[in-house]
Amino acid sequence: MTTVAVAPSSAWTPFRHQVFTVLWTATVVSNVGTWMHDVGAGWLMTSLSPSPLMVALVQTATTLPIFLFALPAGALADVVDRRRLLITFQSVMAVLAALLAVLVWLERADTLVLLLITFLLGTCAAFIAPAWQAIVPRLVPKESLQQAIAINSVGVNISRAIGPALAGFAIVALGAATPFALNAVSFIGVIAALVWWRPAARPTAALPAEALWEGVVLGLRYARSSRPLKATLLRAAVFFLPASAFWALLPLIARKELAGSATLYGVMLGSVGVGAVLGALIMPAIRGRLGPERLVIGATALIAGVLFAAAAVREATVLTLACLAFGAGWIAVLSTLNVSAQIALPDWVRARGLSVYLTVFFGAMSAGSALWGQVAAAFSIPVSLLAAAGVLLLAIPLTRGAKLHQAEGLDLSPSMHWPAPIVAGDVAGERSPVMTTIEYRVQPDKAGEFLDRMAELGHARRRLGAYAWGVLEDAAEPGCFVEYFVESSWLQHLRHHERVSGADRAVQERIQALLIPGSKPVPRHLLGPQDRLA
């Protein structure tokens, strides 16, 4: 394998790994095409229908599919071959982009065609995104994961710096169909790189994977019961909803407020990309000084300032420079939230957990685009931008309690410390439901602390698939507590055994220390009647 001499502590360490480098390069080229499509679609809509709402709906058509389909996409990515899934959907996207290019060239594309094909491209992207993010840990060693995530964000913003400006010049020089044609060609490199890649075979699981819908449900249960992930999701929602105003209204700012051309629009978007790349380069040093919390607060305030400027200033040069600041603030928030979500997820639910994050991200972007477009149509573009800036600033004090990177330092890998359950004979995996009870005899003066620790354990049980959980005390024997939790099937309970993490084990050991010396937890497994399988 070809390597590049890079210091182990360097932010560029992932480039030592050939597979990562090849896929990253191909993805950057493809993303250049995607940004060209976005610019071309937004600009074409201003020609077909200059209504602020219709222009904003292009952004909605791009992001809404990920909100709608990311959850089943995540479950699918956890149970099928992710490489084949990526090749399939990348190929479909190439065909759709080529179709749109032909229709625009023939002047047969109207607002409905543009929104429909953009929506279908977004749907393919929805099925690609969780799988793509989930394969990153297979491209680099664990110690380089955070650098790889950050470099992927840099790649997105390099393409953002190139694609929009290239699209603007291409539209002026070669016509409106050009960005869509180049987007279709850009998928070829990613498809070829994925065909070339031969990942190591994944270990054969002892237990069958969940069905698609069951996988979606388990992913949602994990997200609902994971405090680190919930905090990240909340922060994502309250940031992306108002920040989406910039992306949704930028085509109209360039065309209507500044009386500019497609070239100006492309240059402004390119300025955002340049700002994001520069921000990514200086961000490690800033994060080291400020930490993730103050970094995100500062970046949010910076973006609010850019929205205020976009509402008040009518000078193209000034706003192009403001786009640099927006790009730096955007990459700071986006990469911090992404890393916060990644470190909150164990491998077994990574794609599903990331799909929940993507659902919140793109749901907020879709809703925000439609909302701020409607506000602009009802009042004015500056009013919409000012309102979005105010919401961003208001969100800073309201979300201070939802801390980011809460899972940093937690061991989420399987501990495999649970013994196999004791059963009489074979138990059918479909046996349902399954109730597990565990009896604890607690030291008399430790009952309060015991219940606090059990509440932590309850979150862990729910994250791993339990849909009911509680703790009861024996009326005849104070200090004798019984924990119970219910799961959908015996097979799901066996998966629970495989997925208990090192962090969960630490909680259980702290509970064990509160029991009467010499006593141990006593588990029992209660199964649904056998005749329910008939």
Write the pLDDT tens digit of every residue in 377-410. 889 999 999 999 999 999 999 988 889 988 888 8
- What is the pLDDT at residue 99? 94
Distance CA 13, CA 151 (A): 10
Do the Cβ atoms of 339 and 405 come closer than 8 Å?
Answer: yes
Mean pLDDT of the chain: 85
One-letter-per-residue 3-state SS of 445-493: HHHHHHHHHHHHHHHHHHHCCCCEEEEEECCCCCCEEEEEEEECCHHHH
How is residue 515 annotated by DSSP?
B
Residues contacting 192, CB < 8 A, separation 6+: 26
Residues pairing with 436 in the sheet: 485, 525
Q: In what order do the strands lie in the sheet with 480-487?
A: 468-473, 480-487, 434-441, 522-527
Do the Cβ atoms of 154 and 20 come closer than 8 Å?
Answer: no
Do the Cβ atoms of 37 and 179 come closer than 8 Å?
Answer: yes
**Position 477, amino acid:** E
Residues contacting 423, CB < 8 A, separation 6+: 525
Which residue has 């929009």 as its token pair? 164
Report pLDDT digits (tens) over 190-240. 999 999 988 776 656 667 777 778 888 888 899 999 999 999 999 999 999
H or E element that contains 358:
helix 350-378
233 or 533, higher pLDDT: 233
Distance CA 474, CA 523 (A): 16
- What is the pLDDT at residue 311? 92
**Position 37, amino acid:** H
- What is the pLDDT at residue 325? 94
Distance CA 485, CA 381 (A): 53
Burial class (CB in 10 A: 0-12, 13-18, 19+), 92: middle
- Report the CATH superfamily, name and number, of domain 13-198+210-398: MFS general substrate transporter like domains (1.20.1250.20)
Handedness of CA 420, 421, 424, 428 (dihedral sign): negative
458 pLDDT more than 70 = yes
Do the Cβ atoms of 156 and 31 come closer than 8 Å?
Answer: yes
256 pLDDT more than 90 = no
> If one looks up domain 434-533 in CATH, what number appears?
3.30.70.100
Distance CA 408, CA 228 (A): 9
- Backbone phi and psi for residue 472, each to the nearest 5 degrees, phi listed first: -125, 150
* pLDDT band (50, 70, 90) for residue 338: confident
Read out DSSP for 313-353? ---HHHHHHHHHHHHHHHHHHHHHHHHHHHHT--GGGHHHH
Residues contacting 88, CB < 8 A, separation 6+: none
3 pLDDT more than 60 = no
59 or 533, higher pLDDT: 59
* pLDDT band (50, 70, 90) for residue 532: low
How is residue 420 annotated by DSSP?
P
What's the whole-number mean pLDDT along residues 494-517?
Answer: 91
- What is the pLDDT at residue 289? 86
Half-sphere exposure of 106 (CA within 13 A, CB side): 9
| CA geometry: angle 56, 186, 319, nearest 5 deg | 40
Which residue has 């405090």 as its token pair? 227
Residues pairing with 469 in the sheet: 485
Handedness of CA 512, 513, 517, 518 (dihedral sign): positive
Token pair, residue 26, equals: 């191909």
Beta-carbon count within 10 A of 74 CB = 30
Residues contacting 508, CB < 8 A, separation 6+: 457
Residues pairing with 480 in the sheet: 441
Helix (H, G, I), strand (E, B) or coil at 106: coil
Do the Cβ atoms of 141 and 200 come closer than 8 Å?
Answer: no
Q: What residue ranges do the domains of the chain occupy?
A: 13-198+210-398, 434-533
- What is the pLDDT at residue 237? 94
Do the Cβ atoms of 262 and 168 come closer than 8 Å?
Answer: yes
Q: Which of 161, 169, 159 is nearest to 262 (CA)?
A: 169
What's the whole-number mean pLDDT along residues 36-42?
Answer: 85
Does 13-198+210-398 match 434-533 in CATH topology?
no
Q: Determine the length of the chain.
A: 534
* pLDDT band (50, 70, 90) for residue 11: low
Query: How much of the chain exceeds pLDDT 70, in percent?
Result: 94
Give long-range contacts, CB 8 A cutoff, 24+ apart: 482-486. Answer: 482/437, 482/438, 482/439, 482/440, 483/437, 483/438, 483/440, 483/454, 483/457, 484/435, 484/436, 484/437, 484/438, 485/435, 485/436, 485/458, 485/461, 486/433, 486/434, 486/435, 486/436
